[in-house]
Structure 1
Amino acid sequence: MISRRAFVLATAGLLAGCTRGSDRPLTIAAGEEGGFYLAFAKLLADQVNQADVGLRCTAVPTQASVANLELLQSGKADLALVLADTALTASKGNSPFTTAMPLRALGRVYENYMQLVVRQDGPIHSLGDLAGKTVSLGAAGSGAALFGTRMVAAAGIQPTVSHLPLADAVSALAEDRISALLWSGGVPTPALADLDNRVGIRLLSLDGVTPALRAAHGSVYESVLVPSGAYQHVRDTRTIGVANLLVSAPSLPPEVAGAVVSVLVTRASRLVPQQAVGTQFLDARTLIGTAGVPLHPGAAERYRELHG
Structure 2
Amino acid sequence: MTVSRRTFLLGTLALAGCSPTPTSSLTLAAGEQGGLYLDFATLLARQLDPNPHVTPRVTAGSLENLSLLRDRQADLGLTLADTATGTDLRALGRVYENYFQLVVRADDPARSVHDLADRPLSLGARGSGASVFGDRLVTEATLGDRVDHLPLAEAAQALADRRIDAFLWSGGVPTPTVSDLDRQVPVRLLPLSDVLPTLRARYGPVYEPVSVPAGVYRAQEEIPTVGVANLLVCRPDLPDAVATTITRTLVERAADLVPTQALGTQFLDVRSLIGTTTIPLHPGAAEAYRDLHG
Q: Same fold (TM over 0.5)?
A: yes
Structure 2 residue aligned with 1:285: 271
User: Contact 1:30 / 1:37 at 8 angstroms: preserved in 2?
Assistant: yes
Structure 1 residue aligned with 2:158: 172
Structure 1 residue aligned with 2:215: 229
Provide closer, same or farther for how the CA distance between residues 13 and 73 of structure 1 changes in structure 2, counting only shifts above 3 A.
same
Provide closer, same or farther for how the CA distance between residues 123 and 167 of structure 1 changes in structure 2, counting only shifts above 3 A.
same
User: Contact 1:29 / 1:79 at 8 angstroms: preserved in 2?
Assistant: yes
Shift of 1:196: 1.0
Shift of 1:211: 0.2
Q: 2:75 corresponds to which letter in structure 1?
A: D
Give the alignment partner of residue 64 of structure 2, picking from 63, 67, 73: 67
User: Contact 2:172 / 2:265 at 8 angstroms: preserved in 1?
Assistant: no
Provide closer, same or farther for how the CA distance between residues 15 and 293 of structure 1 changes in structure 2, counting only shifts above 3 A.
farther
Q: Are 2:155 and 1:155 aligned?
A: no
Structure 2 residue aligned with 1:244: 230
Provide closer, same or farther for how the CA distance between residues 74 and 115 of structure 1 changes in structure 2, counting only shifts above 3 A.
same
Shift of 1:157: 2.7
Q: 2:59 corresponds to which letter in structure 1?
A: T
* Structure 1 residues 1-308: aligned runs within 5 Å: 17=18, 23-49=23-49, 52=50, 54-88=51-85, 91=86, 101-233=87-219, 235-308=221-294
Shift of 1:276: 2.4
Q: What CA distance in whole angstroms lies between the structure 2 residues aligned with 1:261 and 1:200?
A: 40
Structure 1 segments of 4+ aligned residues over 3 angstroms from their partners: 10-18
User: Contact 1:11 / 1:255 at 8 angstroms: preserved in 2?
Assistant: no
Shift of 1:129: 1.2
Provide closer, same or farther for how the CA distance between residues 164 and 148 of structure 1 changes in structure 2, counting only shifts above 3 A.
same
Shift of 1:277: 0.9
Structure 2: gaps (5+ residues): 1-10
Shift of 1:151: 1.2
Q: What CA distance in whole angstroms lies between the structure 2 residues aligned with 1:33 and 1:60?
A: 10
User: Contact 1:193 / 1:232 at 8 angstroms: preserved in 2?
Assistant: no
Shift of 1:279: 3.5
Shift of 1:159: 4.5
Q: Secondary structure at the match of 2:218?
A: coil
* Corresponding pairs, count: 283
Q: 2:237 corresponds to which letter in structure 1?
A: S
Identity over aligned residues, as a percent?
A: 56
Q: CA RMSD in A?
A: 2.0
Q: 1:59 corresponds to which letter in structure 2?
A: P
Deviation per residue, 1:63-115 (Å, 9 max, x gap): 00000000001111000000000000xx2xxxxxxxxx311000000010000
Q: Secondary structure at the match of 1:182?
A: strand
Deviation per residue, 1:263-307 (Å, 9 max, x gap): 000000000012321542111111000011000011101110111
Structure 2 residue aligned with 1:7: none
Q: Secondary structure at the match of 1:176?
A: coil
Shift of 1:236: 1.3
Provide closer, same or farther for how the CA distance between residues 199 and 183 of structure 1 changes in structure 2, counting only shifts above 3 A.
same
Structure 1: gaps (5+ residues): 1-9, 92-100
TM-score (norm 2): 0.92
Q: 1:110 corresponds to which letter in structure 2?
A: Y
Q: What CA distance in whole angstroms lies between the structure 1 residues aligned with 2:106 and 2:212?
A: 16
User: Contact 2:81 / 2:277 at 8 angstroms: preserved in 1?
Assistant: yes
Deviation per residue, 1:146-182 (Å, 9 max, x gap): 0011112111331410000000000000010000000
Structure 2 residue aligned with 1:5: none
